[in-house]
Structure 1
């Protein structure tokens, strides 16, 4: 079975998100832990969470891929911005314990002129400050397109962060198809080699989720502009190959395409029909 879903608004609470996922025929989904362009988070409603956990079991929702706000930068040149990222992520991980056993995904950040090595060091320091042996959430580093001074544009940069993390068993990776394509990885013509390289550098055991997106721009553009499935430069055939790849097909796939409810439902249906 194809494990697929999309980003769902958390405004209505956990149970509302679960019901929307089911209405789309999704069995996984993503959500922002708080305002994606800010810091405000809704107070946890324990009754809502309890009802949601029951709903997930009854409706075979198997995995959540929570997403940190875009405003976080764990490797900023300013200490107060790094501290803000650390505090938000630490609080998010506490909140994720209400839905244990899921994923918390974040963008590694931009070194803003400090240099890649310094940026990697700062990200690892942040992770070492927030990860605990007791947590039941796996934190995912997302592969990035390489805009400006983004960290995570190569598999080697992602692994360099992991190497500096103390509790490596709490760390995984989320691969974004648009991002890696825009970063220069040829998932259209040579998917096997890209997956093989990921395995050599990071290890496929670290790959926990995939953001499945087409790209508005050609390979190596470093633009990070998502497109609807089959409407961009990656194309439907290549993305079909991703979901059917024997080393990827069991993973949760999250759509982050520019779409509305009906558009997501259509993409989920399209990809389920192409899953072999």
Structure 2
């Protein structure tokens, strides 16, 4: 059972680990740099070692790092694609300070080029930056489908994977709000959605879950997160996701609109469901 939330990396790696423990978590997510872009903060190897020691002591699950929102591997403009490739390559080098964990990113927005072109650009970028030596698994996130987002369906994510040479380095992060907003009925037919995922992509690639309720009706393509049990997915359905046997070994990451006390309550609720 691994549950945590997004934490700020501004105070360092060890500080994130201590905060996770304080909230009752045994994993967490963090942005590799400012979520709106910019240069990454220099890594202090001693600070990272303190985090790794704490993770061993507390029996943490895998961490789920998150790329900045400004990274768009399928942008229409070549300079943005180039900048994004440099960013992900740098992030993957930095991830090796915490080996064997996950690096999650939004596949990108094709900005009018069409999903097929976007898929080709994303796969091309991944073919350039992935290496046989890396220990990090790169996760494509399921998207709500707002605007020209790529990844609004399991088929689009599968199409990216099929075009990547080192596809063994790829997995999926299933965001509950996003798949609901994309039209998948995880409230009424969770087993059916997971069966479809397995048929199209393969459950062996489902590595992590972003655990969020949604403010929107199913299929709205809007992507607005809600606290657990306070949205349109609902408390009972969220509990079924949390306790589904096919997801029992995955790290669950809360991205709900909360303060620390809210996260503490949701982490405690998740643990109660799993008891």
- What are the within-5 Å matches in structure 2 for residues 130-169 of structure 1? 130-169=129-168
Residue 123, structure 1, aligned to residue 128, structure 2: no
Cα separation, 2, equivalents of 1:28 and 1:234: 24
* 1:240–1:275 CA contact under 8 A, matched in 2: no
**What residue number does 1:102 align with?**
101
Q: Within the alignment, does 1:37 sit opposite 2:57 as a pair? A: no
Distance 1:195 1:52 in 2: 34
**CA contact 2:2–2:60 (8 Å) conserved in 1:** no
Alignment of 1:8-23 (within 5 A): 8-23=7-22
Name 1:235's counterpart in structure 2: 234
Q: Is the 8 A contact 1:183 1:219 kept in 2?
A: yes
Q: Deviations over 1:208-250 (max 9, x none)?
A: 0000000000100000000000000001110110111111121
Give the deviation of 1:116 after TM superposition.
0.8
Q: Name the SS for the 2:140 alignment partner.
A: strand
TM-score normalized by the length of structure 1: 0.99
1:40 shift after superposition? 2.2
Partner of 2:110: 111
Q: Distance in 2 between matches of 1:63 and 1:167?
A: 21
Partner of 1:89: 88
- Alpha-carbon distance, 1:25 to partner: 0.9
- Structure 1 segments of 4+ aligned residues over 3 angstroms from their partners: none
C-alpha distance in 2, partners of 1:195/1:44? 38
TM-superposed deviation, 1:62? 2.0
Distance 1:61 1:242 in 2: 21
Structure 2 gap segments, 5+ residues each: none
Whether the aligned pair in 2 keeps the contact of 1:242 and 1:249 (CA below 8 Å) is no
SS of the equivalent of 1:263 reads helix
> Which whole-Å CA distance do the structure 2 matches of 1:127 and 1:120 have between them?
11
2:210 is aligned with 1:217: no
**Secondary structure in 2 aligned to 1:210?**
strand
Greater shift after overlay, 69-78 or 49-58?
49-58
* TM-score normalised by structure 2 residue count: 0.99
| In structure 1, distance between residues paired with 2:140 and 2:31 | 15
* Matches of 1:273 and 1:56, distance apart in 2: 22
Q: How does 1:172-183 map to 2 (within 5 A)?
A: 172-183=171-182
Gapped runs of 5+ residues in structure 1?
none
Report what 1:203 is aligned to.
202
Q: Which moved more, 1:235-244 or 1:202-211?
A: 235-244
Task: Please state whether the residue corresponding to 1:7 is helix, strand or coil.
Answer: strand
Q: What's the RMSD between the two structures over aligned residues?
A: 0.7
Provide the residue aligned with 2:72 in structure 1: 73
> Partners of 1:93 and 1:240 in 2: how far apart?
33
